[in-house]
């Protein structure tokens, strides 16, 4: 009977794990399918490194952080003098206040914003004075049957004044009913646009133009660019209009064209207003002439045109006539939000070397995939496994180091 080998202790297994050394063994496999798979994977990886990492993503460049600022100047005039009584909704008051000439001082509110501008497209004007009057009947919990339903001194945060404790009747154009009386700015605003069919009062604002002056600084390279070229003249700026094909360098934009680029028109946004994003994108390869470092423009409506509540964009402001009288305005319009994206890069050898080195490391993926196929999917996988892995213990088998018996040929 042969002597059985004594079982090895756990300590021996741990020592083997800690102190054994593994080295690569090169096995040439003469299989055209595996060879083709290996070259295809390597080709894809090399194409990715060169095409995407180096060329498309400019992996050979170092990019600078950037700072930017944008100012705007709107120009235009609108006339609403030709509005007739039939153009207004029924029982609308102060119609004559809407028939006049309007310029940018009244349309652009506020006159200046950082990286934004607002254009009024619809307007509700209410002449008011300090007085007592009925509360807006659309305010919650102001309907009454008598004085007992109204509390003197009560302030409703959604209301327009302080209740006097009286119950009074409304007048047209409001719905006729009894509501609590208030002490405040009277009469309350009739929250409805002036024109029939929800037409915007200032539909012609689409003929206004806006000059955008955009500045971008690439701080790493101490370089500043702006979207107005040094060769541009005052005559050019007063006569050009931006066109993505015919004149992409013009910084003057017609409002109607911006709406068209967003896929909408004034009838879709003018009545209730909305929000439009203007994106100025700088993608500059600073290894070439700065003449090629110019921006592109992108436009998109970002508010929800199908919102059921809180639709569009509006706010209120007032102009005072003395201490006790004022005109309140509820302005609907388009707010244009301007954002800048910039990337400026120059050749940098370290970045190129790092990207090439990390990319070449991916070539090991080809060997890994081919090994998986060879050792698990091929018909001769057992043969490949025997030739792929070999354990050498020179203390137990000194002849294992004798390479005279090794086959250095190819495995078919």
Give the phi and the psi of residue 181 in degrees, each rounded to 5: -85, 145
State yes or no: 235 annotated in a binding site: no
Distance from chain centroid for Cα 161: 41
Distance from chain centroid for Cα 84: 42
| 58 backbone φψ class: left, alpha, beta (φ>0; ψ -120 to 50) | left
Residue linked to tokens 């701080």: 219
State yes or no: 95 annotated in a binding site: no
Residue 165 token pair: 């404790």
What are the angstrom distances between the C-alpha of 200 and each of 77, 254, 265, 307, 346?
16, 18, 12, 18, 50
Closest listed residue to residue 163, CA positions, set 172, 173, 155, 171: 155
State yes or no: 204 annotated in a binding site: no
State yes or no: 252 annotated in a binding site: no
What are the angstrom distances between the C-alpha of 129 and each of 46, 96, 147, 392?
77, 19, 24, 103
Decide: 350 and 60 in contact? Cβ < 8 Å. no
Cis amide prior to 35 (ω within 30 degrees) = no
State yes or no: 324 annotated in a binding site: no
Rounded to whole angstroms, the Cα distance separating 368 from 326 reads 79
Contacts of 27 (CB under 8 A, 6+ apart): 384, 387, 388, 411
State yes or no: 314 annotated in a binding site: yes
Residue 173 token pair: 């154009």
State yes or no: 73 annotated in a binding site: yes
Residue linked to tokens 């509360």: 135
State yes or no: 121 annotated in a binding site: no
In degrees, to the nearest 5, what angle opens at C-alpha 15 toward C-alphas 12 and 21?
125
Closest listed residue to residue 200, CA positions, set 297, 262, 154, 269: 269
Rounded to whole angstroms, the Cα distance separating 83 from 75 reads 23
Please give the annotated binding residues for ATP, written as ranges. 73-75, 209, 314-316, 330
Please give the annotated binding residues, written as ranges. 73-75, 209, 314-316, 330
């Amino acid at each position: 009977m042969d002597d059985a080998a004594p079982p090895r202790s756990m300590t021996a297994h741990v020592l083997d794990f800690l102190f054994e050394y593994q080295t690569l063994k090169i096995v040439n496999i003469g299989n055209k399918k595996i060879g083709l798979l290996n070259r295809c994977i390597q080709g894809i990886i090399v194409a990715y490194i060169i095409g995407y990492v180096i060329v498309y993503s400019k992996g050979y460049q170092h990019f600078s952080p950037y700072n930017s600022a944008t100012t705007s100047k709107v120009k235009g005039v609108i006339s609403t003098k030709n509005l007739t009584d039939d153009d207004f909704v029924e029982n609308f008051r102060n119609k004559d206040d809407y028939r006049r000439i309007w310029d940018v001082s009244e349309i652009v509110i506020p006159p200046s914003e950082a990286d934004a501008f607002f254009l009024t497209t619809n307007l509700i004007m209410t002449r008011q004075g300090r007085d007592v009057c009925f509360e807006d009947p659309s305010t919650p919990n102001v309907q009454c049957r008598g004085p007992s339903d109204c509390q003197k001194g009560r302030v409703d945060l959604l209301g327009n004044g302080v209740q006097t404790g009286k119950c009074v009747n409304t007048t047209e154009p409001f719905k006729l009913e009894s509501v609590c009386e208030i002490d405040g700015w009277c009469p309350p605003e009739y929250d409805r646009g002036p024109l029939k069919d929800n037409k915007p009062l200032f539909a012609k604002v689409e003929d206004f133009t806006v000059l955008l002056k955009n500045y971008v600084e690439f701080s790493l390279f101490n370089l500043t660019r702006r979207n107005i070229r040094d060769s541009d003249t005052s005559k050019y700026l007063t006569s050009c209009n931006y066109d993505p094909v015919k004149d992409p360098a013009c910084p003057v934009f017609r409002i109607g064209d911006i709406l068209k680029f967003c896929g909408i028109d004034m009838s879709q946004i003018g009545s209730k207003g909305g929000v439009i994003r203007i994106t100025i994108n700088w993608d500059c390869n600073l290894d070439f002439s700065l003449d090629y470092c110019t921006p592109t423009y992108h436009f998109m409506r970002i508010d929800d045109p199908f919102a059921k509540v809180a639709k569009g964009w509006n706010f209120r402001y007032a102009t005072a006539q003395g201490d006790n009288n004022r005109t309140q305005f509820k302005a609907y319009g388009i707010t244009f939000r301007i954002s800048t994206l910039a990337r400026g890069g120059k050749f940098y050898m370290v970045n190129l070397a790092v990207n090439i080195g990390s990319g070449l490391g991916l070539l090991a993926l080809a060997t890994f995939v081919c090994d998986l196929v060879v050792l698990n999917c091929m018909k001769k996988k057992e043969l490949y496994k025997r030739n792929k892995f070999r354990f050498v213990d020179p203390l137990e088998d000194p002849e294992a180091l004798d390479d005279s018996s090794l086959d250095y040929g190819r495995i078919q």
